[in-house]
Amino acid sequence: MKVIVCVKQVPDTKGGVQFNPDGTLNRAAMLTIMNPDDKAGLEAALRLKDQYGAEVTVITMGLPKAEDVLREAMAMGADKGILVTDRVLGGADTWATSTTLAGAIRNLDYDLIITGRQAIDGDTAQVGPQIAEHLGLPVISYAEEIKIEGDSVVVKRQYEDRYHMVKAKMPALITALSELNDPRYMTPGGIFDALDAEITTWGRANLVDVDDANLGLKGSPTKIAKASDKVRKGSGEKVNVDPEESVAYIVGKMKEKHII
Amino acid sequence: MNFALDKKYEMAQTLFREFAENEVKPLAQEVDETEKFPRETVDKMAKYGFLGIPIPKEYGGQGCDPLTYVMCVEELSKVCGTTGVIVSAHTSLCADPIQTYGTEEQKQKYLVPLAKGEKLGAFGLTEPGAGTDAQGQQTKAVLDGDEWVLNGSKCFITNGKEADIYIVIAVTGTVEKRGKTMKEISAFIVEKGTPGFTFGTKENKMGIRGSSTYELIFQDCRIPKENLLGAKGKGFNIAMHTLDGGRIGIAAQALGLAEGALERTIEYVKERKQFGRSIAQFQNTQFQLADMATKVEAAKLLVYKAAMAKGQYQIDHKTSYSVEAAMAKLAAAEIAMEVTTKAVQLHGGYGYIREYDVERMMRDAKITEIYEGTSEVQRMVISANILK
């Protein structure tokens, strides 16, 4: 069994966020982590490795320094790492990213592709399902549990107030929630091995069946009008009244602002 | 000379820091308060290979090096001195001598489960009348047929009742050296559960209170002949060499305690307000912190240097790292005591309250000046080398 996990290096929100003049993130200047939903997807894949001996390949698109996130995944137990990096791929939105990743994945054999539900920097939740669409695969999003049954995968799909049990024939694509599991730590020996391991690096030339018009900033239909860091909330209004009075006061304010 | 850490050490540090913050720190206060041995943490550390960091992969270890191991003890000790010493005693005092002096059979039987963390290790040298003075040993081992018969006791043994495999130092006869009759000392591997091997009193300690510190008692304890570690009569050398390595582990524990206390104090002085401003704005606080940070950095360089010297020794078996280890332990232990004491002082009354980590860290730090060779013994080792 072969599993591909798509991971993304995202800004560590503890370290603050910086932007380029065009509104895209200045990734080179920020502290980074593996996107939490992707890490849960990786853990799910590593459990398939523990249970069924699956071979786990991690793939990422990004700057050369995104190699770090692949090495971290390998120090946790992934077998191979593929970095897709090329200047022409920069500034990609979800469409251009999914086109790129699908173009890279066309080079590989797989039974299952696991991506995180969404990245904490963009929060779109689009890349996973788009990759499935490009590759003509069934997609099951918001996975809370993953089981293998013969040549199919059975996934507990989370909703706000319920869940669905969905079965799909492999190959298929699953998007994982960070609630799926508690990802394992790296091991010291895993780190040493991961840093000695070869990382496969692919550029534009290695992408299969993709059109340049769908890549990078030029191939991105999304244009960012404006981006900003978190806006600090004001201190609000403080009122010192007894509980009963306060209920009437809050209801009055909500009516005044047409909330109710 | 390059003081920048390689990427692999940076990643290892991140790993140990995350593990310590998530898994160890939340338990530290309870472990101290209730003297509870943190078995769950030990099991988790075993799972992630923390109990076999410098052991080669062919013996079930992680195949890293002493520097990586030292960083692990350091990061654990930043949040819990007890957890730091569990790993240190296991790795440096039990797994290391078996790796260095064990036969292939002994390595397969004992080193592999120790490195995988399936078994926990301990080391018994100290006796009521023999700590620093190894010649004062009273525990005896007599060969009887195919078995050694052990009689005597060991005290203050770290991982005491919780360990599975013990290195025990005992007298096996006498030898003539420079016209004097000296005790012949040998080292043995003893398994828990061997008839005649029992535990005495548990020590109620000032610090590292979750560490299982026990007396080991041997009464006609019969162990197989093949459990002699190294050659007969080489026990003193084995013990001294083992302690050289152990001192680097304890130096790392001391370093971690000092760093942890410094970190807590930096957070505290920014929040604590007196006379209308944070105490971090007072020059006394600033100068104290500057001294503490400088000393911590100095200790770190000595500890890392000693670990790298041991790493080099494991490759070429040429240069002894005994003096580096002694200097690292001497400096780190005394700095840990000084920094944790200042941390308590900067916390004022709160520093004396159990709820605050620095109170525990100050108690934990004291032992690093005493065990695995007191600061005075380290001075003896260092000066003997200077004056030879």
Which amino acid, A151?
A: D
Whether the Cβ atoms of residue A79 and residue A200 lie closer than 8 Å to each other? no
Q: Is the pLDDT of residue A26 over 90?
A: no
What would the two tokens of residue B335 be? 């700095």
Nearest CA in chain B to A187: B48
Quote the strand ranges of chain A, DSSP E. 2-6, 9-11, 32-34, 55-61, 80-84, 112-116, 139-149, 152-158, 163-169, 172-176, 200-202
Q: Mean pLDDT check: name the lowest of A226-230, B26-30, B270-274, B334-338.
A: A226-230
Strand partners, B173: B184
- H/E element, B216: strand B214-224
- Tell me the two tokens of residue A205: 């030339």
**Interface with A, mutate which of B7, B15, B17 (most A CBs under 10 A):** B15
Q: Is B372 a catalytic residue?
A: yes
Q: Which of B35, B74, B127, B372 is catalytic?
A: B372
Cβ(B368)–Cβ(B333) under 8 Å? yes
Return the closest-CA partner of residue B38 out of B93, B77, B80, B90: B80
A102, part of any domain: yes
Are A187 and B72 in contact (CB < 8 Å)? no
ipTM over 0.90: yes
Q: What pLDDT does B371 receive?
A: 96
Residue contact B8–A72, C-beta within 8 A: no
CATH number for the domain harbouring residue A29: 3.40.50.620
Residue (of B209, B67, B92, B228) closest to B150 by Cα position: B228
| A199 Cβ under 8 Å from any chain B Cβ | no
**pLDDT bucket at B77, cuts 50 / 70 / 90:** very high
Please tell me the predicted confidence (pLDDT) of residue A222.
86
User: What is the overall mean pLDDT for chain B?
Assistant: 96
Considering only CA atoms, give the Rg of chain A: 21
Q: What is the CA radius of gyration of chain B?
A: 21
Cα–Cα dist A51/B88, whole Å: 33
Over 70: is that where the pLDDT of A230 sits? Answer: no
- Distance CA(A186)–CA(A182), nearest Å, equals 13
A117 found inside a domain: yes
Q: Do B62 and A195 touch (CB under 8 A)?
A: no
Across A73-82, A208-217, B30-39, B356-365, least confident range: A208-217
Identify the DSSP state of B5.
Answer: P
**A223 inside domain:** no
For residue A240, tell me if it sits in a domain. no
The total number of structural domains that make up chain A:
1
Mutate to test the interface with B, among A31, A34, A192 (most CBs of B within 10 A): A192
Give contacts of B49 with chain A, Cβ < 8 Å.
187-190
Please check whether residue A192 touches B, CB under 8 A: yes
Query: Which residues of A fall within a CB distance of 8 Å from B64?
Result: 188-189, 192
Distance (Å, rounded) from C-alpha A224 to C-alpha A191?
Answer: 38
Residue A11: what pLDDT? 85
Chain centroid to Cα A234, Å, comes to 32
Please give the pLDDT value at position B323. 97
- Domain contains A257: no
Residues of B in contact with A189 (CB under 8 A): 49, 57, 61-64
Please report the pLDDT score of residue A260 as a whole number.
85
H/E stretch holding B181:
strand B180-191
When pLDDT is averaged across residues A98-127 and rounded to a whole number, the result is 92
The domain in which residue A167 lies consists of 2-214
Quick one: pLDDT at residue A231? Answer: 66
- Is B64 in contact with A186 (Cβ distance < 8 A)? no
Residues of B near A (Cβ–Cβ under 8 Å) read 7-8, 11-12, 15, 18-19, 48-50, 53, 57, 61-64, 68, 72
Residue A227 domain-assigned?
Answer: no
Tell me what pLDDT residue B129 has. 83
pLDDT at B290 over 90: yes
Give the least confident one: A183-192, A224-233, B98-107: A224-233
pLDDT, residue A29, reads 75
The residue-averaged pLDDT of B135-162 equals: 96
pLDDT of B319 reads 83
pLDDT-derived band of residue A15, with 50, 70 and 90 as boundaries? low
Domain membership of residue A133 (yes or no) is: yes
pLDDT band at A241 (very low <50, low <70, confident <90, very high): confident
pLDDT tens digits along B293-326: 999 999 999 999 999 999 999 999 888 899 999 9
Q: Which residues contact B19 (CB under 8 A, 6 or more apart)?
A: A185, B44, B45, B48, B50, B75, B76
- Whether A181 is in a domain gets the answer yes
Quote the minimal CA–CA distance from A124 to chain B in Å. Answer: 28
Q: Is the pLDDT of residue B133 over 80?
A: no
Write down the number of H helices and E strands in chain A: 6, 11
Mutate to test the interface with B, among A31, A34, A39, A187 (most CBs of B within 10 A): A187
Residues on chain A touching B68 (C-beta within 8 angstroms): 188, 192
Query: With an 8 Å Cβ cutoff, is A2 touching chain B?
Result: no
Separation CA B369–CA B336 (nearest Å): 9
Phi, psi of A25 (to 5 degrees): -70, 140
CA distance B301 to B288: 20
Cross-strand partners of B202: B214
